[in-house]
Chain A
C-alpha cells in the first residue's frame, strides 16, 4: 500500500492542508508545534477511524484530542494506492462514532467502492489500530512495540487464525479461570479442590475422633456389660437368698413341725396309754385270750335266729302278747269273782231303768223350773210399762186431736177437723176397754201357775227316790270290779260283760296253743343248751345264764357290743401305737436328714440380707440406666462418625477425580502456553534476523562494544541484550541507543508483520535524542529503509534530515 496524497480539511490544529506523497522517503520539515503528531494521527484516523468509548476518559481519546475546537467539521481525504489501484478515502469525525462518515472512492471509476470498509486499515494491513500504531507509527520517544494479538496473527500471515489468536488470551484466561475454580484459596468462595481438601481434612480430622469414640463406646459397653454381670450376679444372689429363705422357712417349718411331731408324739403316747387302759378295761371279759370273731358272731346270730324262730313258734303257739297281757289284765279284773250272765243281765236292766228315771227326773226338774219362770214372768208383766200398742193408741189420739185443732184453725174447714176428733174419741174408748180386761187375766194366770208348780215338785221327788234305790243295787254289783268312775253305770256293766267275754276267749286260745308247741319247745331247749354251751366261756365271764334267762339275743348284742368295744379299743391302741411309731420314725428321719443342731441363719436374718440385696440391685439398675444413657449419647456421635467414615472413600475418590481434572487443566494450560510459544517461535526467528540486519546497518562503533548477536527479541517483542550471560533490558542503555534499537526492532517487526502489504511508515522525529554519530547511522538506516518502504519522516531540524 502506498500513500498518494492527503487533504486535511480540519484535524486538530491542521486545517486545509494538502500533501502529495512520493515513493521512498518523504521528509516534512516543520517546526515544533506544527502538528506532526496530528498529521500522523490523521493518517491513522483515515485508515482506522477514530476510537470512541464512553467509558474511556476523554483526555485519553484521540477523538477528543483532535476534534477542532472551533467546531468545524473534522476530517479529510486520503488517497492511497493498493495493488496498483488508487482509492480515495473521504472521512469525517463527529463527537461520537455515530457522527463519523466514511466514503471510499475508486479513483479509476470515481465511484464509491466497497472493496474496503470503514475498517480499511485493518483490512489492508490485518492489524488493528493499536498494532498499527505500535508498528507503523514511530512517534518521538515511543518506540516500544510490545506484542499484541493481531501482531502475532499478522506475523503468521494467518488470517484464518485471527479467531484463535483473538481468543487466545481469553482461552488462557478461561483455562486459568477453570484452574482457579479448583485452586482458589478464597475463604468466602474457595475452589473445588481447595474446598474438597478442606472438607476432606475436616472429615479426617473429625474421623480422628472415631477410634476414640469407638474406644469410648466399647469401654462403655464393657462397663455396661460388667454392670449387667454384677446385676445378674446380684439377681442370682437374691434368688439364692430367696431359696435359702425358702429352705430356711421350710427348715424352720420342719423344726416347727418336728416340735409339733414331738408334741403329737407326746399326745399320741398319752393316747396310747389311754388306749391301753381302755383296752384293758375293755378286756374285763378276757377278750385278749378268746374273742369271738365276726364269723362266730354270724354263727351266734344264726343260732339265735333259729332259737328266736323256735321261740317265736313257741310264742306264737301262745296267745299273743297283748292277748296275754290282756288275759292277765282280765284275770286281775276278775280277781274277786267272775259275774254270771244272769247277774250281768239284771244289772243291765237296772242300769237302763236308772237311766230312764234320770231322764224323767231331769225333765221334771226342767218342767218345774219352767213353771216357776213363767209365773215370775207373768208377774212382772203387770208392773211393766205400758205395752207398745197402748202407747201407739195414745199417740194416735194426741195426733188426731192436734190435727183437728190445726184444721179447725186453718182454712181447711170444720168438716175435716170434726173427722179427726171423731177418730180421737174412738181411740180413747178402745184404750179404756183394753186396760180393764188385762187385769182380770193376770190374776187367773197366777193361780194356775201355783197349782202346776206343786204338782211338778211331787213328781220330781218320787223320781228321785226311785233313782236312789236302783242306784244302790247297781253300785253294789260294781263294787267287785275296778270300773271307770267317769263312765255311766250302763257303760260299766257293758264293759264288764265285754271283759268277761274276752277272758273266756283268751283262756281258751291259750290252752289250744300250748298243746301244739311241745316239740318245738324241745328243739328250742336243745338249741338253747347248745348255744349256751358255746357261749359258756363268755357267759361265765359275764356271770349270765342265758339258758335260764333266754336272753341269748341280748347277750349276744351285749357281747358284740363289748367285743366291738374291745376291738375298737384294740384298734385304737394299735393305731395309736402305729402313729407313735410313725412319729418316732419321722423324728428319726428328720434328725437323720437335717442337722437341726447346726447353726443356720434365721429367716429374719436372711430377709435382712435380701433387703440389702434389693437395695444393691436397685442401685445397680440405676447405674445401668445411667450407663445406657451414656451409651446412647456416644452412639449418636459414633453413628455420625461412622456415616462420615463410610463417605470418606467416596470423598477421596472425588478428590482423585478433582486432582485429575486439575491435572488436565494445568496440562492444558501449559500445553496451550507451549503451543503459543512454539507457534510464535516460528516467527520470532525471522524477527530476530531482521533485527540483526537492521542493527548491522548501524555503524559498528555505535554498538558500544555489544555484538549484534547479543541482541535478542522475545515473544513479546521486547529487545534484550545478552550481557555476560544475563539478559538485560534495553532500558539500561542510553536514550539515544534505546531509540536506535527501538527503530531497528520496529523495522524488523514491520518486515515480518507486513510480508505482503508494506505499509507506509510514519516517523515523527524519532531521532531527536540521538547524538551526531548515532544520527548519522540513523540517517543511513533511514536511507536503507526508504529504498524499500514509503516513509513519511517528520523533523523540526535540518540536522536530522
Chain B
C-alpha cells in the first residue's frame, strides 16, 4: 500500500510580499497547481491515500476558485482517500456543513475524540489539537498493535505538555503506543525522527515555500507499506524553491568584486532558473561606499523567477580618523558617536549626514 503524507499546504494564501502583482498571482496559483499535481502523481503511482496533516488553508474565507479546485481534485480521484486534519490556521469555510457536499472520499477528524479509519490492515487515526484536549489526547489513544498504525496530528513537537499553547505535541507521551508512523504537520521543513522501538514521527514540511523563511526542498513523504513495515521517502515536489544566499563582503571590495562574490555564491547553491532568490549582503563597507542593490538585482533578475537583494552590511566608520578632523563633518561624526544610539543607528545617521554634506542624493 502507498500513502502520501503532506501538510501545511496553506493553499490560496498570500505569497512573498516583494513579488510584483503578476508574480504573486503566479505563485498563488502554483500553490494550488502543486496540490493538483501531487494528486495526479498519486494516481499515476497507485497511491491509496493522501494524508493532509493540517493547515490546508490559513484564512477564514477561501476564494471560491480555490475551494472549487481542491474539491474537484478530490472528487475526480475517487479511488484515493483524502484524510484531512485541520490545523491551527484552518479556520476556513472550506467545507461548510449544510452548504457544501462533502466528497465521499474525504475523511475528516474532530476535536472531541480520536477518529480511526481502516484501510485494509492500516489504521489511520487522528484528532484535532485544541487547548482543551492537548494534555489528554495521548492518554486517550488506544491502538490495536496487530495493525499498522498511522497517527495524524498538527502541532509543535515538544518534550513536555503545555497548557498555554494548544499546539504542543508531547512526543514522549506517544511512545510505546503501537504507533508505526506519526504523520505530523505545523513545521514547514521535512524532518524524520525516531519515536520509539517501533515507530517514527515525521514532519513532511510544506508543499511550496511561500516566503524566504521557507527555503530549500519542499514536498511530501511517500509511505510504502508492505507486510506491516513502513518505508518512507521524501519526494521533493515544489514548482519552485526559495534560496537565501548570504554573501560576505569587506570594505575593500568594489562593486564589481561584490557582484562577482554574489555570482559565485549563487553558483555554489543549487539554484534553478524557476527559483526565487534572496541575496543578503553582509560584512562591512566604507562610509563612502554603497552597495548597489539594484545593480545586483538587475544582474540576476533575468536568470531566475524572482531576485531580491538586501544590503545588510555594516558601515565601517573609523571614528579615530575623525578625532582631529576640524571640519564640520568631523564635528558631526564625533557628536553622533557620543549619542546613546545603537551602532546601526549611528552608522545610518553618519552615512546620511555625510552624504548630505557631500551633496549626494539621499535615498
Contact = CB atoms under 8 A, between A and B. Distances in A.
Interface of A: 156, 158, 160-161, 164-165, 167-168, 170-172, 174-175, 177-178, 214, 217, 221, 224-225, 228-229, 632, 635, 638-639, 642-643, 646-647, 650, 664-665, 667-668, 671-672, 674-676, 678-679
B265 interface: no
Q: In the complex, which of the residues A158, A171, A647, A665 has the most CB atoms of chain B within 10 Å of its own CB atom? A: A171
Most buried by B among A177, A217, A665: A665
Contacts of A664: 345, 348-349, 352
B353 interface: yes
B345 A672 contact: no
13 contacts: A165-B328, A167-B357, A217-B61, A225-B99, A228-B98, A632-B64, A635-B61, A639-B61, A646-B14, A650-B17, A665-B352, A672-B353, A675-B332
Contacts of A635: 61, 64
A638 B99 contact: no
A671 B353 contact: yes
Contacts of B63: 639
A638 B61 contact: yes
A214 B61 contact: yes
B349 A668 contact: yes
A671 B14 contact: no
A225 B98 contact: yes
Interface in B7-37: 13-14, 17
A164 B61 contact: no
Which 7 residue pairs spanning A and B have beta carbons closest together? Answer: A675-B332, A225-B98, A171-B356, A161-B327, A646-B14, A164-B328, A679-B331
B99 A671 contact: no
Given A229-B98, A672-B357, A676-B331, 14 more contacts: A164-B328, A171-B357, A172-B356, A174-B356, A174-B362, A175-B353, A178-B352, A224-B98, A228-B98, A228-B99, A635-B64, A646-B59, A667-B339, A671-B335
Contacts of B353: 171, 175, 668, 671-672, 675
Interface in B238-261: none
B327 A158 contact: yes
Given A224-B99, A642-B59, A678 B345 contact: no
Contact of A671 (B60, B336, B358, B361): B336
Given A168-B357, A672-B332, A221 B93 contact: yes
Interface of B: 13-14, 17, 59-61, 63-64, 93, 96-99, 326-329, 331-332, 335-336, 339, 341, 345, 348-349, 352-353, 356-359, 361-362
Contacts of B341: 667
Given A228-B99, A671-B339, A164 B357 contact: yes
B234 to A, nearest CB: 30
Contacts of B64: 632, 635
A678 B336 CA distance: 12
A224 B96 CA distance: 10
A636 B275 CA distance: 32
A328 to B, nearest CB: 98
A678 to B, nearest CB: 6
A676 B327 contact: no
A632 B99 CA distance: 13
A229 B99 CA distance: 9
A787 to B, nearest CB: 31
A262 to B, nearest CB: 50
A158 B326 contact: yes
B328 to A, nearest CB: 4
A642 B59 CA distance: 8
A668 B352 contact: yes
A755 to B, nearest CB: 14
A666 to B, nearest CB: 10
Contact of A161 (B326, B339, B352): B326
A503 to B, nearest CB: 104
B252 to A, nearest CB: 26
Contacts of A632: 64
A167 B358 contact: yes
A667 B93 CA distance: 49
Nearest to A226: B98
A674 B98 contact: no
Nearest to A181: B362
Nearest to A167: B359
Nearest to A634: B61
B118 to A, nearest CB: 30
Which of A632, A647, A671 has the largest count of B CB atoms less than 10 A from its CB?
Answer: A671
Contacts of A221: 93, 96, 99
A164 B98 contact: no
Contacts of A156: 326
Contact of B335 (A160, A167, A171, A675): A675
A178 B352 CA distance: 10
Contact of B356 (A175, A228, A642, A667): A175
A61 B331 CA distance: 38
A745 B358 CA distance: 32
Contacts of A161: 326-329
B130 to A, nearest CB: 21
A672 B330 CA distance: 11
B55 to A, nearest CB: 15
Contacts of A175: 352-353, 356, 362
A679 B14 CA distance: 52
Given A158-B326, A167-B357, A650-B17, A642 B331 contact: no
A218 to B, nearest CB: 9
A164 B356 contact: no
B326 to A, nearest CB: 6
B91 to A, nearest CB: 11
Contact of A164 (B329, B336, B339): B329
Contacts of A675: 328, 331-332, 335, 353
Nearest to A666: B349
Contacts of A178: 352, 356, 362
Given A639-B61, A667-B349, A671-B349, A164 B359 contact: no
Contacts of B13: 646
Contacts of A668: 349, 352-353, 356
Given A175-B352, A675-B335, A214 B60 contact: yes
B90 to A, nearest CB: 15
A190 to B, nearest CB: 18
A650 B16 CA distance: 10
A675 B327 CA distance: 10
A229 B326 CA distance: 85
Contacts of B331: 675-676, 678-679
B237 to A, nearest CB: 25
B328 A679 contact: yes
Contacts of A674: 335
Contacts of A676: 328, 331
Contacts of B329: 161, 164
A251 B91 CA distance: 52
B274 to A, nearest CB: 24
Given A221-B93, A668-B353, A168 B17 contact: no
A214 B356 CA distance: 50
Nearest to B15: A646
Contacts of A667: 339, 341, 345, 349
Nearest to A161: B327
Nearest to B326: A158
A140 to B, nearest CB: 35
A679 B96 CA distance: 72
Residue with the highest number of chain B CB atoms closer than 10 Å, among A228, A632, A639, A664? A664
Contacts of A672: 332, 353, 356-357
Most buried by A among B96, B98, B361: B98
A294 to B, nearest CB: 65
A168 to B, nearest CB: 6
B352 A160 contact: no
B337 to A, nearest CB: 10
Nearest to A218: B93
Contacts of B335: 671, 674-675, 678
